Amino acid sequence: MKQIKGPGIYLAQFAGNDMPFNSFPDICNWAAGLGFKGIQVPTWDDRLFDLETAAKSQDYCDEIKGIASQAGLEITELSTHLQGQLVAVNPAYDQMFDGFAPKHLQNNPRARTEWAVQQMKYAAKASQRLGLKGHATFSGALLWHTMYPWPQRPAGLVEQGFAELAKRWLPILNAFDEAGVNVCYELHPGEDLHDGVTFERFLTAVDNHPRANILYDPSHFVLQQLDYLAFIDIYHERIKAFHVKDAEFNPNGRCGVYGGYQDWIDRPGRFRSLGDGQIDFKAIFSKLTQYNFDGWAVMEWECCIKHPLDGAAEGAKFISEHLIKPTDKAFDDFAGVEKNVAMNNKILGIK
């Protein structure tokens, strides 16, 4: 068995205009000071990272790696969650997602999509230059507004939606294949890829592309009431990245999975800081270790109650305490005997 690496931290929720969160060297030193060993880097925040330059310049990538290394950190993955979202946007969401794109592309969906696809291709090359094996992103969505089948979905709608999604992603997946990097889709409500069934639909549409893989985040499965442990048993071969984020689901007589349009703090399903929710991380780390996952355990903070700096400080310790050093021996090795074909044949009744 292999060992999970960690602890890592996703920087997206911590980047800001104040020190130490407004520059790459400073945020690296902050993360290392809390005990983190890895950082997942958002590629849309130019206070921390320049994606196009990274795609075109090995010197820049070496500089970024050097800054992280000087702080005692490794880059776990790059993230293009915002750009990936813009690869596929249903017109119903145009205005709400326009803020994810540069201002000069807003109110221009076609140009916005072309920009997003190019960003993804830059991410493939940048990941290659940084020596990374996985990349974190969203799939975008053409069908999400039809998630609940009322009115009845027209025949063929779902198939056409996934065919179009695959058409948009195949050139990107091929670019990542050329770079030797896995695309790890975070299965997330709001995306067309949000559970095992939708991931399987996508895999079929992209002809089981080897670079189409999963960023496993159990918090999104708790909110959907999906069995997050059985998910690992089913899809472990495609799990190539891991967000460690806690959540809880407390349904009541007034509200359930859909949340009633309430703020996060009032929803039955809500994200929590590590250790404050309901997720069985001991079982998760055990299963991932059992299946030889050797990627990074990366904390993502989205708690609606606890301060982010407290969540980060506690998160490094939490992940470290859940990492498992795999055994190199069987518990009953003391009772073993040397291989003896003749004796085995006798036990089996073979002459």
User: How does DSSP classify residue 89?
Assistant: B
Question: Span 238-259, mean pLDDT?
Answer: 98
Residue pair 205/176 in contact by the 8 Å Cβ criterion: no
Q: Pick the closest to residue 277 from 239, 305, 316, 307 (CA basis).
A: 305
> Within 13 A of 227's CA, how many CA atoms are on the CB side?
7
Domain ranges of the chain: 5-348
For the stretch 253-271, pLDDT in tens is 999 999 999 999 999 999 9
| Dihedral over alpha carbons 115, 120, 126, 132 (to 10 degrees) | 170
Q: What is the pTM of this model?
A: 0.95
Tokens linked to 28:
């690296």
Tell me how far CA of residue 55 lies from CA of 126, 176, 190, in angstroms.
4, 12, 29
Res 333 pLDDT > 90: no
Percent of the chain surpassing pLDDT 70:
99
DSSP string, 215-258: EE-HHHHHHHT--HHHHHHHHGGGEEEEEE-EEEE---SS--TT
For the stretch 270-303, pLDDT in tens is 999 999 999 999 999 999 999 999 999 999 999 9
Angle, helices 281-290 vs 308-322, to 10°: value is 50
When the pLDDT of each residue in the chain is averaged and rounded to a whole number, the result is 96
CATH number of the domain at 5-348, out of 3.30.9.10, 3.40.50.300, 3.30.450.20, 3.20.20.150? 3.20.20.150
What's the pLDDT score for residue 336? 74
What's the pLDDT score for residue 332? 65
For residue 83, the Cα-to-chain-centroid distance in whole angstroms is 14
What's the pLDDT score for residue 279? 98
Q: Across the strands, what pairs with 239?
A: 214
Angle at 319 between CA 317 and CA 322, to 5 degrees: 110
Amino acid at 293: F
Place of tokens 């916005």: 112
- Residue 203 CB coordination number (10 Å): 17
**Top-confidence residue, 98 or 332:** 98
For the stretch 11-32, pLDDT in tens is 999 999 999 999 999 999 999 9
Tokens linked to 164:
């179009």
| Dihedral over alpha carbons 41, 45, 49, 51 (to 10 degrees) | 100
Tokens linked to 341:
């074909």
Res 244 pLDDT > 90: yes
Q: Please name the residues in contact with 344: beta carbons below 8 A apart, sequence gap of 6 or more.
A: none
What's the pLDDT score for residue 330? 74
Q: Pick the closest to residue 136 from 213, 52, 51 (CA basis).
A: 213
For the stretch 138-186, pLDDT in tens is 999 999 999 999 999 999 999 999 999 999 999 999 999 999 999 999 9
Res 337 pLDDT > 70: yes
Tokens linked to 188:
């997330």
Q: Give CA–CA dist 183/81, Å, rounded.
A: 11
Place of tokens 């709001």: 190
Amino acid at 73: L
Instruction: Give φ, ψ of 137 to 5 degrees.
Output: -160, 175
Residue pair 291/2 in contact by the 8 Å Cβ criterion: no
End-to-end CA distance of the chain: 37
Residue pair 135/176 in contact by the 8 Å Cβ criterion: yes
What's the pLDDT score for residue 282? 98
